Amino acid sequence: MPLDELFKKINQKLRGHYQYYGVTDNTRGVKSYQGVVKWLLFKWLNKRSQRRSYTIDTFYNGLLKTFPLLEPQIKVSLFY
């Protein structure tokens, strides 16, 4: 799968997760979910060949700058 399609699908999944779980007291959980998604994406992109495709530096400063992941947002406030 090309990288632009892959990141488009991942952003769709992240948007749905943020909309469902993005409430006021769940900021830390949603932020940690984004970190896990980044780590798993790094892991699985490096398993595509026998050699490593990305280092941590090239992944964060190169690939994630080119194809940014959605940042978590609080969609529902439980206090209003």
Q: What is the pLDDT of residue 25?
A: 86
DSSP bridge pairs for 23: 76
Q: Residues of the chain with pLDDT > 70: what percent?
A: 99
**37 compared with 75, residue with greater pLDDT:** 37
Instruction: Provide, rounded to the nearest whole percent, the portion of the chain with pLDDT above 90.
Output: 71
Band the pLDDT of 3: cuts 50, 70, 90: very high
As a whole number of Å, the CA-based R_g of the chain is: 14
The whole-model pTM stands at: 0.85
